[in-house]
Structure 1
């Protein structure tokens, strides 16, 4: 729509003697094509959203397959390659694709394939079924002619991630963080004697009750009670997801869902959430905002990469957080020590100290960290005045993320 707006401005702001009618016609045509394309894309998104919300099993399973393929690091859905891996090296294929992708794209239970993959008749049927199932994804424009996931496919996977996490999420917390500071436009607080101020803050019922107890037939100024308002402090959080190679698969998938849980709860409570996806380099950033849809769409497309560099994330967070007195909190989700850089440990500790000096607190939620990783994570969170929480069971990751958020709210 922005491009359409710019095109219209070009039409109406033109000088009559510098642009021909042919140019105008071309611009109008481009504007119409732009609008038509946008409407078609929105129609596709609406249809997908309705399918998922109405619990259409086929669409949900397709979304799960795409989501798993991204988290598993599957580059494409090329049927010949998938078939070849399944029949020649099933153990490696199972590790690469995972049970969901194999089951949905072949139509068979993975164990059944393993037992029958050397039978010629079964191999022919398996190859045909994989080709036909993948063709259905192409017909629905979830993958393109080169077997790569399309934007429509990414959107579907983000919807399914959201619905799965929402079904699991039990909302907890304390609402907005309260700052003990009187404020004109804050939330209503305790009842106090009325002082000269805004009449809309008068607590009418307590005032009348007090007048009755005093046997006053009319309200006296001394009977008046009012609400003391407190300013509510907003929290800005950045969710930093480690997308290094060791996070591939289920770790990355549950990290995405935990990020969705955090964004859902924090934004619902009028706080802002940002995103940093990192490995050796910072791959994607999103400043703290209340744009929930953008957050889940970017989480859905995260793929596993190579090494890990914490220091770059800490430096980038200082750029992304607003320069205000509001709470600024960075949450790392990782399973390993930083490995990139000349001296990764010292660089990380120095960057943590600089972030803390900038008013940023740093927490780490470690996924099955080893002893060396635990020791460093403790140092980082000590310097960063945050918390170290250890995730031993992946199903608990979202609860730990929400626990850290709740504790940040209460500080």
Structure 2
């Protein structure tokens, strides 16, 4: 089947759009561009430094003090491994943690280890990842966010988790539904090629003619605002907060790409950070990266803050809370009351509960049933990002 000449332009147009989209997403300061290139070119040293910074943040560690880490390893290596994690110990020392554990009692190795740790920390300072007092710098934060972002996309894209879903409401360009005769004003990418070819064959045409062309009727998208509530209480320390952050990045990336607005509320014993629903992916990424675990959980404050943050326009408004404990501050009745207020404001609430106990599941059911959202009881951490995305897709 021979295609009309003007369709040969389609591939060129698509490639140009992809390049422009990539250039737009990579607009940044020169220093950030260098970091991004290092990550994309798989610079192992840079990637390892970014992972170490992420592990520090996820475990509530604000700085890399070589002498303190060394003393902890000498006094109780298993405790040091539990506090700092294998990634940090390997980055700071340059040795595999198992090798350190076997040799930590040897005086010669201790001297070598201490000197090497100081040298490695100085190199991270020279690179700008750490400051004068070994604290994590803004550059270190940006590197950590780039690493987390790239790892999450690498994790999800091969699994098809960024596929399209149809929205319930309307806007200019949405998802295709039915077909109609092609018009010159239609976009080339909206041509329903298979149906156009079938039409030509049915008409006995050897060449696909313009009159045979069909284009998809677009079911347009509407206003959708979603706020991601990230539990940063002490019990989320380590792997839990790591997967929670990556799930938030996946949600923000997908939703903002779809022209939906995403907000963020980081909460523990109180609301720590908040970003009103917006289309600024880099801002959401930066705030998520900085999150450190704290103390207790106050569900009332996060729902109350979210009610304030949603706009007053006519839109689908949804709060999705990720937590491992429903309420350790205040009463359950307060949580139920504020959930009712959210429902009255047109806000639905979904909860992704990580290994909730019986009381937690019961309270979560009350909140989600009252507000019209969904409850996801999670036991396997590797599924959290997929669940968050599925909850988002179900809104569309």
TM-score bracket for this pair, using the shorter chain length? 0.7 to 0.9
Do the aligned residues in 1 keep the contact of 2:172 with 2:221 (CA within 8 Å)?
no
Work out the CA distance in 1 between the residues paired with 2:300 and 2:118: 45
Deviation at 1:289, TM superposition (A): 1.2
* SS of 2:225 mapped into structure 1: strand
Do the aligned residues in 2 keep the contact of 1:177 with 1:234 (CA within 8 Å)?
no
Aligned length: 347
Matched, 1:294 2:283: yes
Matched, 1:248 2:226: no
Matched, 1:65 2:65: no
Do the aligned residues in 2 keep the contact of 1:176 with 1:270 (CA within 8 Å)?
no
Aligned to 2:373: 386
Aligned to 2:142: 155
Aligned pair partner of 1:48 in 32, 35, 38: 35
Aligned to 2:130: 143
Deviation at 1:104, TM superposition (A): 1.4
Aligned pair partner of 2:296 in 307, 317, 334: 307
Structure 1's 402 and 229: CA in aligned 2 closer, same or farther, altered over 3 A?
closer
User: Could you tell me the TM-score, scaled by structure 2's length?
Assistant: 0.81
* SS of 1:386 mapped into structure 2: coil
Structure 1's 111 and 232: CA in aligned 2 closer, same or farther, altered over 3 A?
same
Matched, 1:175 2:165: yes
* SS of 1:237 mapped into structure 2: strand
Aligned to 1:113: 100
Cα RMSD for the two superposed structures: 2.7
Q: Deviations over 1:159-203 (max 9, x none)?
A: 000000010113345434133x7x88877754579xxxx9968x9
Give unmatched runs, 5+ long, in structure 2. 1-27, 204-213
Aligned to 2:338: 351
Aligned to 1:285: 274
Structure 1's 78 and 382: CA in aligned 2 closer, same or farther, altered over 3 A?
same
* SS of 1:330 mapped into structure 2: strand
Work out the CA distance in 1 between the residues paired with 2:56 and 2:223: 37
Which structure has the larger Rg?
1
Structure 1's 132 and 178: CA in aligned 2 closer, same or farther, altered over 3 A?
same
* SS of 1:55 mapped into structure 2: coil
* SS of 2:350 mapped into structure 1: strand
Aligned pair partner of 2:306 in 310, 317, 337: 317
Structure 1's 334 and 395: CA in aligned 2 closer, same or farther, altered over 3 A?
same
Aligned to 1:30: none
Aligned to 1:122: 109
Give unmatched runs, 5+ long, in structure 1. 1-40, 214-224
Aligned to 1:164: 151
Do the aligned residues in 2 keep the contact of 1:78 with 1:147 (CA within 8 Å)?
yes
Aligned to 1:216: none
Do the aligned residues in 1 keep the contact of 2:173 with 2:221 (CA within 8 Å)?
no
Aligned pair partner of 1:375 in 353, 362, 367: 362
Q: Deviations over 1:247-282 (max 9, x none)?
A: 011100111111111111111222111110000110
Q: Deviations over 1:356-401 (max 9, x none)?
A: 1100000000111111111111111111211111221111111111
User: Could you tell me the TM-score, scaled by structure 1's length?
Assistant: 0.78
Do the aligned residues in 2 keep the contact of 1:333 with 1:367 (CA within 8 Å)?
yes
Structure 1's 187 and 337: CA in aligned 2 closer, same or farther, altered over 3 A?
closer
Matches within 5 A, 1:81-120: 81-120=68-107
Work out the CA distance in 2 between the residues paired with 1:251 and 1:189: 39
Do the aligned residues in 1 keep the contact of 2:342 with 2:371 (CA within 8 Å)?
yes
